[in-house]
Structure 1
């Protein structure tokens, strides 16, 4: 199956987890699940990872990825115009609650009825920061950050060139004249999977495993959503185990219903210690897209919370 080029893949420079799925005793839990502020990735309780906590609980989000090495990702995924040029230093007050941050962002957006993630993978001692980098009636782009203290919307602490606030995720909505002409969504046919490539993922869902150009891919469909995991072949990662965890998670959590197409793209860098997740879905002429270097269940949790 020919792999199509997707939207720009953000360089993965961080070390979110200490060990991820693969051979040598590594399992899919480590590659899939976030770590709490008091444990390493390998010590995370599987029943607690990948979930998000209601933003009503003050500055808390969901499960945390507090690995100190992740701070280097503060510049990753910052697409659009630098907010320091478009918005300047914000005069907004400092926001200590996730709900307040989301409300402040929503209040600034020019797009009518704009949807946003409302829950984020933060630990109890972390705060959510946000910078609006694109803001028109037909497009928006917001970068979210993990902050060690309450910050204002578009705070210069987030936008300065020497900022040490780790980038958490970006959320973007674009309006197209013809969204079907974009290369965001792969043309995937999984109706007749060869037996030697078929993988059972649970709940009656079957995936297709294949290798190409030094990578291994596992692809499956859930409704209008296509899911794909890519890893480097020599890493021998347990893509099947990761996929089964995603399938199980989505049995209990509902992604936005795309009117046409949706795509969850999980890409592990060489070595399997860092991951980039892009989740895209089409709603009429709009394409929504969330990008993050958080583990897959945390990425899904943010999208599940979009409203």
Structure 2
């Protein structure tokens, strides 16, 4: 026997109200989800790598590098970003899709070094989807030199592709070297700079109670300051009218939340902008015990500081 279907009558007014209520709730949920997604994307863009700077462009230079959104300044000079953030970020310690993590690459390099208790940078400015690779260029019981690269796919330490002399060679992030202080003339690495009495017309307020000294010589302009045992200096070509104070202020601000290694006597951060100001060369040197550590990079100043602050 086939059972008859039972029909329940619902008043028209009630049905209409229920229908309208259901549509309204769905629209609100979609709208809220959309707003949440937009907000999250905006926060990611602003947060970047947590303070490190990835741009290396100069205002109005036409460089392919990322330009500084806050490049306006009272001096009217060109200001490269030394403390702003972009969508790039330092790679986390976790590997992705079977790729070794940055920590694992560092552990492998350290296991191959002959120097006991060797320290290395542990954080690098890698763009999204890029991975860390490394090549050991020299390796003895008291010294070593390691190059770090950004690659699309991970390769073993000392892979031949890393040092290939062709257009397929990967981007070099930094070179890190440890040398015996006994074999070096440290006066050439750590210039003796007296900033105890800066003339008023050469004094620059860099914030946080730090004063820098600005001077010009032989077509170059210099800005030098001290933080603890560290001396920091920016050199650029005078005709480029670079905003050295603006760059220095961002470096000072960055170092308020990032700590560099404590040198035995002195450390030196040398930032040099060649003619045009579109590229930069940063060399960070310091002495620990009878060893001199040195990191060299073409990344912008705060990226260099970030890599040095991660040394352990």
User: Is the TM value for this pair above 0.5?
Assistant: yes
Q: SS of the counterpart of 2:182?
A: coil
Deviations 1:213-271 (A, max 9, x none): 10000000000000000000001111001000000000111000001110000001111
Q: CA RMSD in A?
A: 2.4
1:251 to 252, 256, 259: 256
Structure 2: runs of 5 or more not aligned: 1-62
Higher deviation after alignment, 187-196 or 175-184: 175-184
Cα separation, 2, equivalents of 1:100 and 1:263: 30
- Off by >4 Å, runs of 4+ in structure 1: 18-27, 49-52, 178-182
Q: Are 1:281 and 2:300 counterparts?
A: no
Q: Cα–Cα, structure 1 residues 160 and 181, in superposed 2: closer, same or farther, change >3 Å?
A: closer
| Structure 2: distance between partners of 1:185 and 1:200 | 24
- List runs of 5+ in structure 1 lacking aligned partners: 1-14, 34-45, 60-93
Contact 2:90 2:127 in 1 (8 A): no
Q: Partner of 1:189 in structure 2?
A: 194
**Are the equivalent residues in 2 in contact too, given 1:254–1:304 (CA < 8 A)?**
yes
Pairing partner for 2:130 from 126, 133, 146: 126
1:22 offset after TM fit, Å?
8.9
Q: How many residues align?
A: 245
Higher share in helix: 2
**TM-score normalized by the length of structure 2:** 0.73
Q: Structure 1 length normalisation: TM-score?
A: 0.74
CA distance in 1, matches of 2:272, 2:186: 23
Which has the greater radius of gyration?
2
Bigger drift between 197-206 and 161-170 goes to: 161-170
Choose the corresponding residue for 1:143, options 144, 147, 156. 147
Answer whether contact 1:126 1:148 (CA < 8 A) is retained: yes
Residue 176 of structure 1 deviates from its aligned partner by 2.4
Structure scoring higher RCO (CA < 8 A, sep ≥ 6) equals 1
Instruction: Report matched runs for 1:1-307 at 5 Å.
Output: 17-19=65-67, 28=79, 30-33=80-83, 46=84, 48=85, 53=90, 55-58=92-95, 96-162=100-166, 163-177=168-182, 181-307=186-312
